[in-house]
Amino acid sequence: MRSPPEERKLQGRTVTSPSAIEAAGLGEDKGRSLVLGIETSCDETAAAVISRHRDGTGRILSNVVRSQWDAHRAYGGVVPEIAARAHVECLDAIIGAAMVEAGVGWPDLNGVAATAGPGLVGGLIVGLTTAKMIALVHGLPLFAINHLEAHALTVGLTDGLRPPYLLLLVSGGHTQLIDVRDVGRYDRLGTTIDDALGEAFDKTAKLLGLGFPGGPAVEAAARHGDGRRFPLPRPMIGRAEPNFSFAGLKTAVRTAATAIAPLSEQDVADIATAFETTAAAAVVDRVRRAMALVENRRQVPPQGHVLVVAGGVAANVRLRAALEDLTKGDGWRLALPPIALCTDNAAMVAWAGAERLARGDGPDSLDAPVRARWPLDPTSPPALGSGRQGAKA
- Give the residue from 286, 259, 283 showing the smallest Cα distance to 271: 259
The predicted pLDDT at position 75 comes to: 60
DSSP secondary structure code for residue 193 in this structure = S
Residue 28 has pLDDT above 70, yes or no: no
pLDDT band at residue 312, thresholds of 50, 70 and 90?
confident
The pLDDT tens digits for 346-360 are 999 999 999 999 999
pLDDT band at residue 124, thresholds of 50, 70 and 90?
very high
> 8-159+341-391 in CATH: which number?
3.30.420.40
The predicted pLDDT at position 389 comes to: 45
- CA 317 remoteness from chain centre: 15
The predicted pLDDT at position 362 comes to: 83
Mean of the per-residue pLDDT values of the chain: 86
CATH architecture of the domain with residue range 165-336: 2-Layer Sandwich (3.30)
Q: What is the mean pLDDT of residues 94-109?
A: 97
The pLDDT tens digits for 162-175 are 999 999 999 888 89
pTM confidence score: 0.85
The predicted pLDDT at position 232 comes to: 95
Q: What is the mean pLDDT of residues 192-204?
A: 93
- Give the residue from 370, 294, 329 showing the smallest Cα distance to 142: 370
Write the DSSP string, 286-340: HHHHHHHHHHHHSPPPTT-EEEEEESGGGG-HHHHHHHHHHHTTTTEEEE---GG
Residue 21 has pLDDT above 90, yes or no: no
Residues in contact with 103: Cβ distance below 8 Å, sequence separation at least 6, in sequence order: 18, 61
* Identical fold between 8-159+341-391 and 165-336: yes
Domain boundaries, the chain: 8-159+341-391, 165-336
For residues 389 and 315, the model is more confident at 315
The predicted pLDDT at position 80 comes to: 72
The percentage of residues in the chain with a pLDDT greater than 70, rounded to a whole number, is: 86
